[in-house]
A and B are shown apart, each in its own frame.
Chain A
């Protein structure tokens, strides 16, 4: 398949290393800043919810962590798929970089969800709740990918085999989401707060979105950093890397 030139540039480790390095400071600083602003706004300025009182403020963290986890997995699946089909090692490096970050955010979603659950409906954990189940299964998908990679000594083998798993997982994610939701609708367990509530007060919506943006920037900042580390690992011994290190040392 003939690919456009810019695609090939994305496959060049030195170029990507430099690009990622340039982006990281901006992403991290803007991300942290946005989170700080959003957190202050959400915790101190936004009004109290009529129904849930102060507890609702977890909405400025919990949905964001869940969203980032989902985005990370989708990114991982697509990157691994690209790496598998076109045999581009950098794509695999992206997937490997995204996986632990995604897993951590997903774990964070479970924790923040539990913190939310206790005061809201009395329990930290509810086996039937669709969001808890979905986040848990997503976490297992991440861990499975990482566990499979770890089982191989040969990195190229690990890349290819785990890519197949990632693609199968990405295809399955909508199916799992649907089935877990449907199961819950039958069991009528405690209602989870409607996150796509169109009637969200604009005063709450703004900090909510700021937090979404902040976490997204933070995610990409961390991802690019991990990508750089992955490139260094894969390209160790390459001339461009040596020149870079020597140049920095001088």
Chain B
């Protein structure tokens, strides 16, 4: 029954997402726009981090930082309404009554959201990586580490969304709540990419992020379900 409900909610949310494609594509376009425009704000000489280093190095380092922050901001923008719609139209209450636990519903919604917003991100990253002149190795590592880290981002931002679901102006406060929590994932994800840039093994940070993803995905939804119940009380 839980698996059935999970798939049911997943399918329904995907259907709804495709009917409202603009809601999901805006954060993505925002990410691309921001990453593309960032270098314009800086003059080439300043991109060299220290005298003697090539400006390529500076550009690449900038790119890694921008892409990771962009991924975080994009998930912030897309997730704040994740639960709000379901609360407003009353479908969340009905799902709470259903035979399966609320946890299955939460997993279904998270999976649908990740598929629609994070997966395109992982696919588009190579394009953005190109504009920052990342090596193929670094771009591949970037995509891989984003693939592992985006579930963590999704879960943690969703916790923020569930806690603030009834509040006005929730987006701003979600950022404050979630920033400390996502810092490990960002630190290790960026680190993995930088290591790949230097053609070194990025296994360490990747493994850490993978275990972070396992912990986040198994424990986070429990907090989300608790927050949603508290919101409906």
Give me the interface of A with B, judged by CB distance under 8 Å: 84, 133, 137-138, 140-141, 143-144, 147-148, 151-152, 157, 160-162, 164-165, 167-169, 171-172, 175-176, 178-180, 182-183, 186
Contacts and interface: CB of A to CB of B under 8 A. Distances in A.
Nearest to A140: B180
Contacts of B208: 179, 182
A176 B173 contact: no
Nearest to B231: A161
A161 B173 CA distance: 13
A165 B177 contact: yes
Contacts of B220: 168
Interface in B168-226: 173, 176-177, 179-181, 183-184, 187-188, 191, 208, 212, 215, 219-220, 223, 226
Interface residues of B, number: 26
Contact of A161 (B181, B184, B230): B230
Query: Dominant SS at the A interface?
Result: helix
B164 interface: yes
A157 B229 CA distance: 11
Contacts of B181: 168-169, 172, 176
Nearest to B208: A179
Contacts of B188: 179
Interface of B: 159, 163-164, 167, 173, 176-177, 179-181, 183-184, 187-188, 191, 208, 212, 215, 219-220, 223, 226-227, 230-231, 233
Given A164-B226, A168-B223, A144 B180 contact: yes
B177 A148 contact: yes
A143 B176 contact: yes
Contacts of B231: 161
A-B complex: 3 closest residue pairs judged by Cβ atoms: A179-B184, A137-B180, A160-B230
A148 B183 contact: no
A164 B36 CA distance: 38
B163 A148 contact: yes
Nearest to A175: B184
B223 A164 contact: yes
A183 B180 contact: no
A169 B180 contact: yes
A178 to B, nearest CB: 8
B176 A183 contact: no
